[in-house]
Amino acid sequence: MEEFIYKKDNVSVTKSRFMVGSQTYAMSGITSVKSFEKKPQRGGLIVLAVVGVVILFAGHGTAGPLMVGGILTAIAILALVKQKASYSVLLATSSGETKALESTDGQLITSVVSALNESIVQRG
């Protein structure tokens, strides 16, 4: 029976295999492993918030612009707060680089990359 270096939910790492859901990667084909962080695109939401604030102040206290500006600003701020970075496990093989796992949980990705590196070291 294979000894697990890492096992959590649908992700497992052994000396010979890396399993994510129903996908299995042979550790013998993996030459290197790294993590990647993709920060959310916020430019459009920042512009929306600025437009909302401009409408708020340009309306001179009238109900229509106050409501439209307030709604635009609130939507933009809520969306900005809810956005999260995305983290990935990237595997390098002889055929190129593959994104094997993606999550908003940076600690999960760090743990998996560490386990994969340990597997590569144990493999020799």
Domain that holds residue 63: 43-82
pLDDT at position 65 over 90: no
> Which residues fall within 8 angstroms of residue 88, CB to CB, at 6 or more apart?
35, 36, 38, 99, 100, 101, 102, 103, 109
Question: At CA 65, angle to CA 61 and CA 67, rounded to 5?
Answer: 95
Do 74 and 99 fall within a single domain?
no
Residues 20-60 have pLDDT tens digits of 999 999 999 999 999 999 999 999 999 999 999 999 888 77
Do 26 and 52 fall within a single domain?
no
Do 58 and 116 fall within a single domain?
no
Of the pLDDT bands very low, low, confident and very high (cuts 50, 70, 90), residue 109 is very high
In whole numbers, what is the pLDDT of the chain averaged over residues?
Answer: 92
Strands 96-103 and 17-20: unpaired
Total of domains in the chain: 2
For 71-92, what is the mean pLDDT?
A: 95
Share of the chain above pLDDT 70, in %: 98
pLDDT at 113: 97
pLDDT at 122: 86
pLDDT at 76: 95
Do 34 and 50 fall within a single domain?
no
Share of the chain above pLDDT 90, in %: 80
> How far is Cα 29 from Cα 16, in angstroms, rounded to an integer?
10
